[in-house]
Amino acid sequence: MQYDCIIIDPSSPEFNRGSFCYLPYIFYAYLKTRGLNVLLLEDFNCSQIDDVPEAEDYFVGLWSYPQIDNALVINRFLRKKPFFFGYYPLIEKLKLKERRILENEILTGIETYVNFYHDFAHILLSDCDMHLRKYEGQVYPLFTSYGCPNGC
């Protein structure tokens, strides 16, 4: 099976995501709403490079410094040059091919993310605002931290 696009989310030791670190999932939801056949490869590491299926386009989320080595291997050895999105100053510094995720794509992805929980190995659990109210139940992301200038 050939995919329209594959999103690769390189592994990172940072497990509590916020803001642009959500982009692989948001972008996936956006592309799915456009009717595209999309595969999200979560927690990707270099040893999986030979197992990446064929696709028309490849997109790599680069949002963390610990992902740099993984991203450089993907850029060098993937069968087709991928586009990188996420932390754009880092992408520019590394001189990687960039794909800016547009505001309307982000908004659509945020609105439709909940429709794709079944597609994800890891659901992004947004517990960073749990200090606002005592709660012990399951938490789902509402992306309230997306673009927030505060450091919490």
Q: Is the dihedral of CA 39, 40, 43, 49 positive or negative?
A: positive
Cβ(140)–Cβ(16) under 8 Å?
Answer: no
Check pLDDT > 90 for residue 13.
no
Distance between CA 61 and CA 7 in Å, rounded?
Answer: 7
Per-residue pLDDT of 67-121, as tens digits, reads 999 999 999 999 999 999 999 999 999 999 999 999 999 989 988 988 988 898 8
Q: Topology of 3-132 in CATH? A: Rossmann fold (3.40.50)
Which helix H or strand E contains 1, and what residues bound it? none
Which helix H or strand E contains 71, and what residues bound it? helix 68-77
pLDDT at 7: 98
pTM exceeding the 0.85 threshold for the entire prediction? no
Three-state SS at 78: coil
Q: Which residues pair with 57 in a beta bridge?
A: 5
Among residues 67, 79, 54, 56, the alpha carbon closest in space to that of 23 is found at: 67
